[in-house]
């Protein structure tokens, strides 16, 4: 069964590297096959200040290789 997990992050080099590490760790730990990735750009409120900043939104569509439970951490 196809499932989706969403990620969001900032656009600075540091923020993108953090997002890369987060997604790569999730894929490695989750025993999944990534089928498709959608990316969108927009603005989102920051948690610390509440001001809007440019952001990337990623939707990773995947299928589980093992049991069919939802994989979110």
Per-residue pLDDT tens over the stretch 3-28: 999 999 999 999 999 999 999 999 99
Rg of the chain on CA atoms, in Å: 14
Looking at the domain assignment, is residue 17 inside a domain?
yes
Looking at the domain assignment, is residue 71 inside a domain?
no
pTM for this predicted structure: 0.81
Which tokens belong to 11? 């656009």
Looking at the domain assignment, is residue 72 inside a domain?
no
Looking at the domain assignment, is residue 45 inside a domain?
yes
Q: How far is CA 48 from the centre of its chain?
A: 20
Which tokens belong to 5? 């997990």
What pLDDT is attached to residue 48?
Answer: 75
Is 39 in contact with 58 (CB distance < 8 Å)? yes
CA gap 10, 18 in Å, rounded: 9
Looking at the domain assignment, is residue 21 inside a domain?
yes
Report the domain count for the chain.
1
Q: Residue 30 sits in which domain range?
A: 2-64
Looking at the domain assignment, is residue 51 inside a domain?
yes
Looking at the domain assignment, is residue 73 inside a domain?
no
């Amino acid at each position: 069964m196809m499932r989706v997990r969403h990620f969001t992050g900032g656009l600075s080099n540091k923020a993108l590297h953090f997002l890369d590490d987060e997604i790569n760790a999730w894929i490695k730990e989750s025993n999944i096959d990534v089928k498709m990735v959608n990316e969108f750009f927009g603005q989102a409120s920051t948690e610390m200040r509440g001001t809007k900043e440019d952001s990337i939104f990623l939707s990773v569509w995947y299928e589980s290789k093992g049991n069919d439970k939802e994989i979110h951490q």
